[in-house]
Chain A
Amino acid sequence: MSRFHRKHSLQSLNPKKTEPAAGLYIHVPFCASKCPYCDFFSVTATDMIDSWLEALCRELDLYREQFPRFETVYLGGGTPSLLSDQQLGSLMEYVRRSISILDGAECTIEVNPDDVSREKAGLLRDLGFNRLSIGVQSFNDRLLSLLQRRHTALQACEAVAHAATAGFDSISLDLMFGLPGQDWEAELAQAVAFQPGHLSCYQLTIKPGTPFHALQQSGEFEIASEETLVQLFMLTDSILDDAGYAHYEVSNFARGIEYEARHNSRYWQHLPYLGLGPSAHSFDGRTRWWNTASLPEYCQSLAKGSPVVGRETLTPEQLRLERLMLGMRTQRGIAREDVSADVSVLERLERAGLVVVHDARVVPTARGMLFADRLPLVLE
């Protein structure tokens, strides 16, 4: 926890102690260029950053009463590291002035390797960030160029080194598997060599509307078969297990519980979070709402009111369904009482090696996580 952080939390407003602390997500919808596989909301119009920043501060004001205290902060995107030092500084200053960030809070920022200089890493530490999520994607230059990333493998390594030097002891690396001609074992070995606290390993997913989808449709791009992807997934589980990483979520691995992504875990555990910025979602435990995905609309709406375009209050049944859906993605699993399927169904899944039942919880195995989208329907 940085000095900076502690100093500022003393000055914060007097929060209502009754409100439990929440997670704060800030969506930075800017990228220097769009990656051909990504369907997250972002734009390359960096000249709009200042308007966005202004609107974001207005949006935060709207929630000061409802969400006074936070135990996690997460700057995601887009590419948050694209913001200038000054923009990042004024954003964080406003955040700290408006709400309270608890002692010991996890403060994460997503960065692109090519944005992480030694100076930048130091600045991020000074701004109070204590966790860095680095978008490495691959340690192979050919694959990085296929993915149209702006960095090289060497830059990725340098970024990790700068982060460590700057004092980030919680570092997470994002990697992708299932790429054409990829030596995934070698990539994993290289990642593990840095001994990061956390690894996110995503299967390349071709989403409709992305340039990769078009390439795949036209046959120019061949993605791995279902069978190969299953093997890669299981291989990842076993290699990282040997290296001391727990497979605590479908795509996430931590070298000890203290390195698990606390902010993201809030999503999976149904804990409240406030999402700011275009397309961001928020949740208070019962109701979820979301903002317009259009940056101009987002900025305009905050000049006069709210950017919220959708809202739903979950019924107990919907909450249960989400618990099943989220639980089957994580090592926490689900409460036995949330399962309404016959006991024979559970036994069958256990025999098939997909779940383990213990301490009144049903927990997916690594193989079970491969069916995370299906098991809720079976257990429901």
Chain B
Amino acid sequence: MSSMRHIRNFSIIAHIDHGKSTLADRLIQSSGLVSDRDFHNQLLDNMDLEQERGITIKSQTIALPYTGPDKQKYVLNLIDTPGHVDFSYEVSRALASCEGVLLLVDAAQGVEAQTLANLYAAMEHDLTIIPVINKIDLPAADIERVKEEIDAELGLDSDKALLCSAKDGIGIEEVFEAVIERLPPPIGDLAAPLQALIFDANYDQFRGTVVSCRVFNGSLRAGDTIRFMSNQATYRVEEVGVFRLKLEKRQVLSAGEVGYIIAGIKTVADTRVGDTITLDDNPAAKVVGDFKEPKSMVFSSVYPIAADDYPGLVDALEKYKLNDAALNYQKDSSAALGQGFRCGFLGLLHLEIVQERMEREHNQAIIMTAPSVQYKFILKDGSELTIENPQYYPDPMAIETAFEPYVRINIIIPERYMGAVMKLCTDRRGSNSRFNYPSPKRIEINFDMPLAEIIYDFYDRLKSITQGYGSFDYEYMDHRPGDLVKIEMMVNHEKVDALSFISHRDNSRPRALQYCERLKEEIPRQMFKIIIQGSIGGSVIARSTINPFRKDVTAKCYGGDISRKRKLLEKQKKGKDRMKMVGNVQIPQKAFVAILKSEKD
């Protein structure tokens, strides 16, 4: 057990690509936790997918041993945070577990949109902020300019900014020293009833669920019975410990410490990030912070490409769910695609991550249908109906009022993009605009907007018109009445339920046209003409045509051509396996989510 005086709990926050992972790696390496030889680049982002996307999805926490200039031994808990709008609640719980942050700024890029958004998030939790100018080794580094920006735009004292190059290992010692000297040690009452905040949970196939938590008050040891304050569930603690490169067992976790709990919890879904853990026989009176249930915002159906893969899909979803509490699913079926599941996701990125991991880690060839939001209806007979799947859209004649979900969006951008962003937001039915000027040359915009407008490529469009300088966040508000219609898509006059979608009436035609065009791009030419149509209540409002190819033959095929040709055929055959036959048309997997693709500028 470390005394609280010798503990520091902190995160690194930064705009994307400003070097967060590199600095984390360098701190781990310099702490001596890992030998240089074993040093695995970007240790914290340990999933392939994360490395490819360059963002952290599941956070990894690590306790770094450090001996200070005062010869005292410290434990520095580096708490990693996920980096996307879909996971903002998880970020806030991680930050709530810290006393301070390193705010990283790229020496060449300077302060950017997410730098600011991250700063606000840290300030919301009253954290001590240490600005760190990274990448000072770059030829384009302009430290003076970046310091001015830190002063003017962040309102922080730039004289206190540290200079480092995580890549070259410059200034790392100064970072360690600042963490010890400038960040406050945690404060807590060892004698008070246990209060531990869950900020993450991971599934380990041998150990069950490993809960990551920050202990605020009291202490916890193996053999204790703990209680989750959100649902009163109790578990007997098997083991507690701290995060080194592996889990390292400890006798006790005490106030101020960050560590893990293993308590026979079957799945990650049995835990809630943001929940407070206390002791069953001596419960705390209050929870830490405010707890929010993860809320599914975006829904899509998942089907196996081959109908006989359904049992495999069931198995894969169950396994996947062990490690992702935010995913919800239930049985579903479609005339075009057969048996599958309707899934609820935190947002679109969450959806994409699930899709990719199902394919990669669970080896499932799946089709996901166009994402939808949750609609509510009051019917003329007075009954109420909630649907998340356009397939179950009620008879329009029976609808008294239709409701769609609204969110409050928050966008922070440099002033120069204001016109373009305003136009985007009003095009997407944004209303009730509010503005703030958090710092010179920056503007914060709030709108009330239908969630459905966001899932159709809103974030991509925003990034593109603000050249990446836009930070974006949203929060569910309520359901509001809307003039909605269901658009049926037909491929060669055959209705494809999995392609149907719900839209506001005003947007229905352009959106249906856009979908027809997207499908035309995604569905390869075939030996016959393919007609794609979008219709409302049987009348066609949009149409596109895929002309057949007229020939597909190479002039020569002699002895030396056969193997090569067969290999090409095998490759095409594999591609065909990833297509779904609808009537006599082969529709590739990605066509089903084509509607989400950005419009071409």
Q: For B572, give the chain A residue with the smallest CB separation.
A: A377
Whole-angstrom distance between the alpha carbons of A325 and B556 in the complex?
13
Interface magnitude class on chain B: 20 to 34
CB-CB under 8 A for A312 and B560, given A230-B550, A233-B551, A371-B551: no
- Segment of A54-62, A80-88, A277-285 in the binding face: A277-285
Pairwise interchain contact A380-B573, C-beta atoms closer than 8 A = yes
Q: Which residues of A contact B550 (CB under 8 A)?
A: 226-227, 230, 370
Would you give the shortest CB distance from B306 to chain A, in whole angstroms? 15
Q: Which residues of A contact B549 (CB under 8 A)?
A: 226, 374
Pairwise interchain contact B559-A280, C-beta atoms closer than 8 A = yes
Report if A121 contacts B (CB, 8 A).
no
Report if B569 contacts A (CB, 8 A).
yes
Would you give the shortest CB distance from A132 to chain B, in whole angstroms? 18
Pairwise interchain contact A312-B554, C-beta atoms closer than 8 A = no
Pairwise interchain contact B551-A325, C-beta atoms closer than 8 A = no
Q: For A322, give the chain B residue with the smallest CB separation.
A: B566
Choice from B553, B562, B563, B576 contacting A250 with Cβ under 8 Å: B553
Interface string of A211-253 (1 = CB under 8 A from B): 0000000000000001101100100000000000000001100
Q: Which residues of A contact B551 (CB under 8 A)?
A: 226, 229-230, 233, 370-371
Which chain B residues in 555-595 approach chain A with CB under 8 Å?
A: 555-560, 562-563, 565-566, 569-570, 572-573, 576, 584
Q: Which residues of A contact B528 (CB under 8 A)?
A: 352
Whole-angstrom distance between the alpha carbons of A107 and B572 in the complex?
37
Q: Which residues of B contact A203 (CB under 8 A)?
A: 555
Report if B527 contacts A (CB, 8 A).
yes
Choice from A229, A233, A281, A376 contacting B559 with Cβ under 8 Å: A281
Pairwise interchain contact B552-A288, C-beta atoms closer than 8 A = no
Would you give the shortest CB distance from B564 to chain A, in whole angstroms? 9
Report if A346 contacts B (CB, 8 A).
no
Would you give the shortest CB distance from A208 to chain B, in whole angstroms? 13
Which chain B residues in 92-138 approach chain A with CB under 8 Å?
A: none
Would you give the shortest CB distance from A125 to chain B, in whole angstroms? 25
Which chain A residues in 310-357 approach chain B with CB under 8 Å?
A: 312, 318, 321-322, 325-326, 329, 348, 352, 354
Would you give the shortest CB distance from A70 to chain B, in whole angstroms? 14
Pairwise interchain contact B527-A374, C-beta atoms closer than 8 A = yes
Would you give the shortest CB distance from A28 to chain B, in whole angstroms? 14
Report if A267 contacts B (CB, 8 A).
yes
Whole-angstrom distance between the alpha carbons of A230 and B528 in the complex?
15
Q: For B560, give the chain A residue with the smallest CB separation.
A: A281
Q: For A178, give the chain B residue with the smallest CB separation.
A: B555
Pairwise interchain contact B553-A376, C-beta atoms closer than 8 A = no
Using a CB–CB cutoff of 8 Å, the interface residues on chain B facing chain A are: 527-528, 549-560, 562-563, 565-566, 569-570, 572-573, 576, 584
Question: Could you list 10 further interchain pairs (A-B, Cβ under 8 angstroms) beyond the known A229-B551, A352-B527?
Answer: A227-B550, A288-B562, A318-B566, A318-B570, A325-B566, A326-B562, A348-B584, A369-B553, A373-B569, A377-B576
The 10 closest A-B pairs by CB, nearest first: A370-B551, A374-B552, A372-B553, A202-B555, A281-B560, A230-B550, A373-B552, A203-B555, A281-B559, A267-B559
A-B contact pairs, 6 of them (CB 8 A): A202-B555, A227-B550, A283-B559, A352-B528, A373-B554, A374-B527
